[in-house]
Structure 1
Amino acid sequence: MAVSESQWKEPGGPAAATAQPGPWPGATGRPVVGPPPRLSAQTPTARPPTPAAAYGAWQGALRPPMFKVSQPRPTYREPLPVRGQSVAIGGAAGAAWMLLFGLLMNGSARSYVWTSLVAGFLAWGAAAILARFGDRGAAVGVAAASGVAVAIAGILVAYRLAGGDWLLW
């Protein structure tokens, strides 16, 4: 089926200029969405409409940024990262420390509990110093190992207390 020249409309020709604006460029006919209301010339915030406003696009209060952002969001890097290897080394050191103090007891449950408490508090102090001035991974390992050892001593105290014997006095 051939199209005659009278039926053919060039997209940028005179027929397109006289046609009613449509919902997108080059469309003719009644627009689906009307253009937004324009500000009057008397208002101090009057500005020329954007090209998208001619086609009924929403002109929100937000404007696009004036600069190009190279990254979508900022990247933060931990200055002193905690590595798994240093946590394991700290845990081994803390376990060895607690074992050394556990071997120093004279064989009674009371001396084991007291030496574990003293060693645990010393280890937590060392972990605090390591966390502030040294390797934070090692501090985590030392604190975890000494915490487990002090918890074991606490379980021993609770077990003996259930039997009617208070170990700490």
Structure 2
Amino acid sequence: MAVSESQWKEPGGPTAATAPPGPWPGAMGPPVVGPPPRLSAQPPTSRPPTPAAAYGAWQGALKPPVFKVSQPRPTYREPLPVRGQMVALGGAAGAAWMLLFGLLMNSSARAYVWTSIVAAFVAWGAAAILARFGDRGVAVGVAAASGVALAIAGILVAYRLAGGDWLLW
């Protein structure tokens, strides 16, 4: 048995009727049914229906809350920020460390390279400890300065290798 839209009745609600035609030509809106069942024991308020109610949207008591937020997103702050002054201080300390070891072993190129390798690894260990437990800006500066000094030693090794002399053995 076919039931037309005008005869259909929601259980516990009024008879359904079709909405007026939609905003585009030839379109029929969804069927409009009576008010939804109330979920609270409070008496209904006499508010005018919203535009969404004309299209059958639920206008019940459980609407999502509207938050008034001053910031659109949360702000996350770095607990230990890296500052430029501390990076410069770490760079100066790392450069002084590598310069000290470079001046201690100025007897030969082989001694300079091996001393630079050992000093760079010790500086990187100190930078790792600083990064974990101390100031990360100083750690960045120490690691960068020791890396540059080790690169200079590597350039010296490559230059001597081009001439046929391997400095590391």
TM-score, normalization: structure 2? 0.67
Conservation of the 8 A alpha-carbon contact between 1:35 and 1:55:
no
Q: 1:37 to 1:117 in 2, by over 3 A?
A: same
Alignment correspondent of 1:107: 107
Q: 1:91 to 1:38 in 2, by over 3 A?
A: farther
In 2, the alpha carbon distance for the partners of 1:104 and 1:164 equals 26
Residue 37 of structure 1 deviates from its aligned partner by 1.1
Alignment correspondent of 1:116: 116
Q: 1:163 to 1:65 in 2, by over 3 A?
A: farther
Q: State the aligned residue count.
A: 134
Q: 1:40 to 1:152 in 2, by over 3 A?
A: same
Alignment correspondent of 2:23: 32
Conservation of the 8 A alpha-carbon contact between 2:22 and 2:29:
no
Alignment correspondent of 1:53: 52
Conservation of the 8 A alpha-carbon contact between 1:87 and 1:137:
yes
Counterpart of 1:84, as a letter, is: G
Residue 65 of structure 1 deviates from its aligned partner by 4.4
Structure 1: gaps spanning 5 or more residues = 1-20, 23-29
Counterpart of 2:30, as a letter, is: P
In 2, the alpha carbon distance for the partners of 1:137 and 1:114 equals 27
Alignment correspondent of 2:132: 132
Conservation of the 8 A alpha-carbon contact between 2:32 and 2:54:
no
In 1, the alpha carbon distance for the partners of 2:86 and 2:29 equals 63
Alignment correspondent of 1:66: 65
Q: 1:145 to 1:36 in 2, by over 3 A?
A: farther
Q: 1:105 to 1:67 in 2, by over 3 A?
A: same
Q: 1:68 to 1:157 in 2, by over 3 A?
A: same
- Structure 1 consecutive aligned stretches of length 4 or more whose deviation exceeds 3 Å: 30-36, 38-41
Residue 164 of structure 1 deviates from its aligned partner by 1.0
In 1, the alpha carbon distance for the partners of 2:29 and 2:79 equals 51
Residue 32 of structure 1 deviates from its aligned partner by 3.2
Identity among equivalent pairs (%) = 72
Counterpart of 1:157, as a letter, is: V
Residue 91 of structure 1 deviates from its aligned partner by 0.3
TM-score, normalization: structure 1? 0.67
CA-based RMSD: 3.2
In 2, the alpha carbon distance for the partners of 1:168 and 1:69 equals 67
